[in-house]
Amino acid sequence: MSKEMPVCHSCGQPGLITFLSLGNTPLANSLPSKEQLDQPEEMFPLNVAFCPSCSLVQITEIVPPEKLFRDYLYFSSFSDTVLQNAHEVVERLIPQRHLSFKSLVIELASNDGYLLQYYHQYGIPVLGIEPAINIAKVAVEHGIPTLPEFFGEEVALKLRKEGKCADIIHANNVLAHVANLNSFVAGIEHLLKDKGIAVIESPYVKDLIDRVEFDTIYHEHLCYYSLTSLDHLFTRHGLVIADVERIPIHGGTLRVFVGKQGFASPSQVVLNLLAEEAAWGVDRLDFYKGFGQKVEDLKKQLVTLLKDLKGKGKRIAAYGAAAKGCTLLNYFGIGEDTIDYVVDRSTYKQGRYMPGIHLPILPPAKLLEDQPNYVVMFSWNFAEEIMLQQVEYRHRGGKFIIPVPSVKIV
């Protein structure tokens, strides 16, 4: 079961305006096993709306978090790019924030300890909070203390009572996933020391629109943030965006540095980006409503290319059993008549099947064994990393098809 939200996830105001519908789709990370292929798959509406009150872009259907996240198949440590991004920010923050063995760093949605491990290596106390029980267990096995809970105000108050307030709170790619958004942000305010900072990364809605990144829309991603919508959200909970960076990871991400009101103030960089957003129309529906046609144009480009290649007898596979691939395959209606299989580095995904379309997921070594003519890059946000790993496949004449922001062959 799911429920439709008649009001904004963030400000609670009615009047959401839907500007894109991707139909009914399966859950993007619920990769069925071979035994489950004959069982009916749950499908949920995937509609995207704009809130005229606080400018937040969001989907209108909430699937229960327990269904989405308690048993999860995305492990951050399988991506070299994600690890490098985490390592770099940790190396910056340790001297900048004067961290020591007396400090505490907490990560919300800490996954398998991919980020906290770098603080841990310096002897800085850490705590992960990760709702996926299977992933939290792996983090603990790697020496990262991890609480297998959904974070919110209740968990924060409990930790605060135990004296576990944080010098730094990390929240990477989780704010988009949170069903009880206001409880989550209130929890950050409770758990942060007065002079502490929260470092939060979330995909940037302007990059999503400009680069036609429609495949980052799926049921786990409830919200798509601008700095303006983040500012509205944090201000309501006594928090201030002190600084912001735009970073390239995941197709374009905002990294914000958030402090408590009275202990932090917005930098000129923050004020400049807020002004830029006002200029391009962050708070006006007009900026978003042409998006659906751009998606249809992209669909036509890719489907036509794949059909032409199949007509010439070419063999096609795909790389990345990512949630992006689920949205693209199901909305574009691309199946086993076009793509033979998907490869992925994650051993947790290998042997399973893509949701809805049921393409088999195999190890990347299959590309060299089989040498298909073309590979569609579902994980286009890691294209550079993947192509470096697949030098031999390309050396033998194999080509990649990058589907976003426009279809190209490399």
CATH no. for residue 194?
Answer: 3.40.50.150
Residues in the chain, total: 410
Q: In this structure, are 208 and 236 located in the same domain?
A: yes
Residue 240 has pLDDT above 60, yes or no: yes
| Residue 145 in tokens | 């203390």
| pLDDT tens per residue, range 302-311 | 999 999 999 9
More reliable by pLDDT, 67 or 137: 137
Q: What is the mean pLDDT of residues 246-267?
A: 94
Residue 1 has pLDDT above 60, yes or no: no
Contact call for residues 120 and 143 (beta carbons, < 8 A):
yes
Those residues with Cβ within 8 angstroms of residue 345's Cβ, 6 or more apart along the chain or in another chain: 78, 363, 364, 389
| Residue 379 in tokens | 């994980």
Q: Which of 287, 307, 333 is the last residue of a domain?
A: 287
Looking up tokens 């063999």 gives 315
- 108 lies in some domain: no
The strand pair at 253-260 and 239-247 is best described as antiparallel
Distances (CA, A) of 334 to 73, 108, 275, 372, 391: 23, 35, 41, 17, 27
- 264 lies in some domain: yes
Q: Is the dihedral of CA 266, 157, 110, 2 positive or negative?
A: negative
Q: What is the mean pLDDT of residues 205-224?
A: 94
- 55 lies in some domain: no
| Residue 66 in tokens | 């327990």
Q: What is the mean pLDDT of residues 47-76?
A: 84
Closest alpha carbon to 76 in 118, 27, 121: 118
Residue 74 has pLDDT above 70, yes or no: no
Residue 384 has pLDDT above 80, yes or no: yes
Helical packing angle, 181-191 and 227-236, nearest 10°: 70
- How many domains does the chain fold into? 2
Closest alpha carbon to 75 in 33, 114, 107, 116: 114
Cβ count within 10 A of residue 71: 13
Residue 385 has pLDDT above 60, yes or no: yes
- Domain limits at 355? 299-409
Instruction: Provide the pLDDT for residue 66.
Output: 76
Q: Which amino acid is at 55?
A: S
Closest alpha carbon to 267 in 208, 207, 229, 227: 227
Q: In this structure, are 282 and 305 located in the same domain?
A: no
Instruction: Provide the pLDDT for residue 155.
Output: 97
| Residue 70 in tokens | 């308690």
Contact call for residues 307 and 338 (beta carbons, < 8 A):
yes
Q: Which of 287, 321, 351 is the last residue of a domain?
A: 287
Contact call for residues 266 and 240 (beta carbons, < 8 A):
yes
Contact call for residues 400 and 383 (beta carbons, < 8 A):
yes
Q: What is the mean pLDDT of residues 229-238?
A: 98
**For residues 251 and 261, what is the distance between their CA atoms, to the nearest angstrom?**
31
Looking up tokens 């949920």 gives 44
Q: Which amino acid is at 370?
A: D
Q: In this structure, are 255 and 325 located in the same domain?
A: no
Band the pLDDT of 184: cuts 50, 70, 90: very high
Q: In this structure, are 275 and 373 located in the same domain?
A: no
Q: Is 305 helix (H, G, I), strand (E, B) or coil?
A: helix
Record the pTM.
0.91
Instruction: Provide the pLDDT for residue 251.
Output: 84
Taking phi over 0 as left and psi of -120 to 50 as alpha, with beta for the rest, 73 belongs to: alpha
Instruction: Provide the pLDDT for residue 80.
Output: 87
- 318 lies in some domain: yes
Ranges 15-29, 73-87, 154-168, 351-365: which has the least confidence:
73-87
Q: Which of 263, 287, 311 is the last residue of a domain?
A: 287
DSSP state of 171: E
